[in-house]
Structure 1
Amino acid sequence: MESAESLRNKCAACFRQFNRMEHLVHHMRTMYHSVHEPTCGICKKHCKSFESLREHLIGPLPKQECKNLFNIQGCKFCLTILDSPYALRIHQDRCQLSGGMLARLANLGLQDSLTIDNGFSRGQQVVALACKMVGGGSDGSLDICARVCIIDENENIIFHTYVKPSIPVTNYRYETTGIRPEYLRDAMPLRQVQRRIQDFLCNGEPMWRIRSAKGGKARILVGHGLDHDLDRLQVEYPGIMIRDTAKYPPLLKTSKLSNSLKYLTQAYLGYDIQTGIQNPYEDCVASMRLYLRMRNQVHRREEYPLASDPQNQNNFASWMSPEDMLAISRSDYYCWCLDSA
């Protein structure tokens, strides 16, 4: 039986117990617990990532009561607890996705439907981008963008092209890229690709005016490892408009390092990618599906959802209860559910 004192010093989010109240206060100031954290549907424990939640439910040392119910009524992909085994079967038919895109992957040539509509389309526009690299330099280890693909939210290809390299290619990495020298000989030059993509993403809005994903013309850009892709494309884009599945805190490992797109797709969408010759369209689809799954998380609405908002000082005090501290605590990252708020 827990004492009244231990309950008073117990974090209302992660259930960690502290000897002194001031230690709990310090914990709340540094952990940024919030309604946006992955949460166990059984005991309501907050976890810092879905990998932490997975360990809590089915890891080597799970909480036994949670594990027992999860084994009967829990979805192994989105980690939701359903009302019954029957409800789980119905849910998993929708939750487990399939590749189902082989026909669209075959013999992709140049496709260019990039348009600038100056924000006249209804709703916030979201697109996903992925590249495939060949090797340059004396040992072939320098990444050179040789193929790029962009899709819309409905997985339609907006842009696909091979990219003519600006320096000699010394390793085509054919086993994974499927790219041959003749594919790049008359391809679109990198500078032209860069200009087309940059203009499309900004959508008629000057770069210096892009301050928020809300109400602007610029498009939200989804992908995995986008810093590297954009660097190889020589494209600049504000971080506030980027949704990177390699950096999103709920999708990180428990060590806070990135998971691979291959792992995330298998674990959270239920199918395999990158099993042979890799295609950027397949990567675009996987990252877009992960983004939509994260965006569709239902969290309690907050007037000021970020710890960085001026109204949120996260002023915790030793006279407050753990529940009161959790109520005023805010996240230190932008939850993708806010894109649909």
Structure 2
Amino acid sequence: MDNSSDAHSRHRCAACYRQFNRMEHLVEHMRSSHHSYHEPRCGVCGKHCRSLDALRDHLGFGASLPSKPACAAAFQAHGCPLCLVVFPTASALRAHCAACKLSRGGRAVALGCKMVGGGSDGTLDVCARVCVVDEHEAILYESFVKPIIPVTHYRYETTGIRPEHLRGAPTVKQAMRRVQDILLNGEQSYYSSRGAARLLVGHGLEHDLDALGMDYPAHLKRDTATYPPLMKTSARLMSNSLRYLTRSCLGYDIQTGGHHHPYDDCVAAMRLYKRMRAMSHLHLNGRRKDDDDESTAKAFPAWRQRELERMSPEELLAMSKPDYQCWCLDDD
């Protein structure tokens, strides 16, 4: 085995900088890691991180892992605490902070539901309030909802819902139809060739959709609870709370006490989506990386092993594909 410094650096992953003794180990790492130019990256050293939490830790802005001192110092001096971009000067940072805005409006809407308790012990979540907002944070639909089963716990301390709010309210089925009409956006099907059906944003969308008795196509859902860059960094990705994401990525607090309005949750989820969508992910040649159907497994087939082992780490990274649909592609 070649122990020279050149050989050692050649076996370093161009994304996460992990070192490997043998080139075939680096190829296997690239095959399984799904590194891509859509991952959050350090603006100082260029290291790719699996999530924004991991990038915060790397920059010394988190609390769970030690940071890289040089990157942490640069971030502390000229880094934006919201989008985690590092700027060369303090004046550039000030100019950015004054204009650190969300991306332009589009066809997405955000859904938020408030649940009350059903069942004998009040632990069964049933929808009692629903809200839908557009990208400009205007309310498209907001209503109390009459649950399909008796309510045994109104959870008033957080929901603010009382029995009188649900008397005469639309049924869950009626509310579901209103939400569907908004999402279809004049189409007869979510799969119409015109593509006018709206993107649905939310936090824990499956839970809210189940409560409304709805299905929605996976390719039109944008869930901040399951989007990998917004998830916790651990042995396996786990969801962060909407409250935590709003504080860490948007810089303000929600759900701090008292009654929680679904509008606040909708707005927070929409702002998170727009911030993620606005992130610029450039390929090696300066263009956005195309979103194609080729998976990393297809890009690194076993029959190409010898050819792959002769490639540079940068060439391997250029071939690698993410294992999720990056939201920056929604802005194309």
Partner residue of 1:66? 71
- Overall identity of the aligned pairs, in %: 56
RMSD: 2.1
Partner residue of 1:106? none
What's the offset of the Cα at 1:32?
1.1
Instruction: Kindly provide the CA deviation profile for residues 86-140 of structure 1, in whole angstroms up to 9, marking residues without a partner as x.
Output: 322343345499xxxxxxxxxxxxxxxxxxxxxxxxx851101100000000110
Partner residue of 1:33? 35
Partner residue of 1:313? 298
Partner residue of 1:233? 212
Helix, strand or coil for the counterpart of 2:21?
coil
| Partner AA of 1:261 in structure 2 | L
| Partner AA of 2:78 in structure 1 | Q
CA distance in 2, matches of 1:309, 1:281: 38
What's the offset of the Cα at 1:208?
6.3
Partner residue of 1:296? 278
Instruction: Kindly provide the CA deviation profile for residues 149-168 of structure 1, in whole angstroms up to 9, marking residues without a partner as x.
Output: 00110001110000011111
Partner residue of 1:262? 243
Helix, strand or coil for the counterpart of 1:147?
strand
How many residue pairs get matched? 312
| Partner AA of 2:254 in structure 1 | I
CA distance in 2, matches of 1:188, 1:198: 15
Helix, strand or coil for the counterpart of 2:145?
strand
Partner residue of 1:13? 15
**Corresponding position: 1:128 with 2:110:** yes
Q: Is the 8 A contact 1:130 1:149 kept in 2?
A: yes
Partner residue of 2:262? 280
CA distance in 2, matches of 1:196, 1:210: 19
TM-score of the superposition, structure 1-length normalised? 0.87
Partner residue of 1:202? 184
Q: Is the 8 A contact 1:42 1:66 kept in 2?
A: yes
What's the offset of the Cα at 1:281?
0.4
CA distance in 1, matches of 2:99, 2:130: 30
CA distance in 2, matches of 1:2, 1:178: 67
What's the offset of the Cα at 1:2?
7.7
CA distance in 1, matches of 2:67, 2:216: 41
What's the offset of the Cα at 1:205?
3.0
TM-score of the superposition, structure 2-length normalised? 0.89
CA distance in 2, matches of 1:80, 1:242: 27
Alignment partner for residue 181 of structure 1, among 144, 163, 167? 163
Partner residue of 1:117? none
Partner residue of 2:318? 327
Partner residue of 2:135? 153
**Corresponding position: 1:75 with 2:80:** yes
| Partner AA of 2:45 in structure 1 | C
Partner residue of 1:112? none
Helix, strand or coil for the counterpart of 2:298?
coil
Q: Is the 8 A contact 2:296 2:322 kept in 1?
A: no
CA distance in 2, matches of 1:94, 1:124: 19
| Partner AA of 1:309 in structure 2 | E
**Corresponding position: 1:339 with 2:330:** yes
Q: Is the 8 A contact 2:120 2:152 kept in 1?
A: yes
CA distance in 2, matches of 1:280, 1:90: 33
Q: Is the 8 A contact 1:95 1:269 kept in 2?
A: no
**Gapped regions of structure 2 (runs ≥ 5):** none
Q: Is the 8 A contact 1:135 1:172 kept in 2?
A: yes
Q: Is the 8 A contact 1:305 1:331 kept in 2?
A: no
**Corresponding position: 1:168 with 2:130:** no
| Partner AA of 2:331 in structure 1 | S
What's the offset of the Cα at 1:328?
1.4
Helix, strand or coil for the counterpart of 1:313?
helix
Q: Is the 8 A contact 2:296 2:320 kept in 1?
A: no
